Amino acid sequence: MQKRPEDRWGVLVFKGDDGQDLLHVPLAGWLPEARCLGALDLRPHKCLDRTGLRQLVKRLGIPLEESPEPVTASGVPDDGRGSRPYRVVHTGFPRGCTKGISLFGWLIAFVIGFATENFWALTVAAGALFLLPAGDASVRARGWWCSRQHARFVDKTEIRPSPAAGSGVTRRFLRTAAVRVYSRDVVLTNALGEERWLGRAGAHGVARLVRLVDAATGESLGVEVWDRQGEVRALLPWRFWFAGPLGSESWTALTEALKVPVSDEKYRRRRNAQHWWEGHALAGDARRMSPIEGRAVRREVAWYSSVAGADEPVVIPFFSAWLLFGLMSDKVPVFLAGLLSALTIVLSLGLATVSALVSRISYDRTVQAE
Q: How far apart are CA 249 and CA 80, in angstroms?
A: 57
| pTM for this model (two decimals) | 0.72
pLDDT, tens only, 159-211: 999 999 888 888 889 988 999 999 899 999 998 888 888 989 887 889 999 99
pLDDT, tens only, 20-72: 878 878 777 787 777 665 445 666 677 787 888 888 888 888 888 877 655 55
Q: How far apart are CA 209 and CA 37, in angstroms?
A: 18
Residue-level pLDDT at 152: 60
Closest CA to 76 of 167, 6, 169, 175: 6
* Parallel, antiparallel or unpaired: strands 206-214 and 262-267: parallel
| Residue 149 vs residues 53, 86, 143, 146, 153: alpha-carbon distances, Å | 29, 30, 10, 5, 8
Is the separation of the CB atoms in 37 and 282 below 8 Å?
yes
pLDDT, tens only, 81-134: 444 444 444 444 444 555 666 666 767 776 776 677 777 887 887 887 887 787
Q: Is the pLDDT of residue 217 over 80?
A: yes
| Residue 250 vs residues 25, 73, 159, 193: alpha-carbon distances, Å | 37, 42, 6, 20
Residue-level pLDDT at 323: 79
Phi, psi of 71 (to 5 degrees): -115, 135
